[in-house]
Amino acid sequence: MRDQFWNQVKSKYRLGTLIHGSVEHHAPFGIFVNFGDDSIRGIVQITDFVDSGDMTPAIYPDIGSPIGAVLVGYTEDDRNQVWLSVKPSILQKALVSLKLPAPSARA
Q: Model-level pTM?
A: 0.83
Q: Is residue 102 part of a domain?
A: no
Q: Is residue 33 part of a domain?
A: yes
Instruction: Give yes or no for residue 81 having a pLDDT over 50.
Output: yes
- Whole-angstrom CA distances from 84 to 75, 95, 99 are 11, 15, 25
**Chain centre distance of CA 93:** 12
Q: Is residue 31 part of a domain?
A: yes
* Residues of the domain holding 46: 2-95
Neighbours of 16 (CB within 10 A): 10
Q: Is residue 8 part of a domain?
A: yes
CATH number of domain containing 12: 2.40.50.140
In this predicted model, what pLDDT tens digit does every residue of 19-71 receive, in sequence order?
A: 999 999 999 999 999 999 999 999 999 999 999 988 889 899 999 999 999 99
> For the chain, what is the domain count?
1
91 near 44, Cβ under 8 Å?
no
Residues linked to residue 22 through DSSP beta bridges, in sequence order: 34, 66
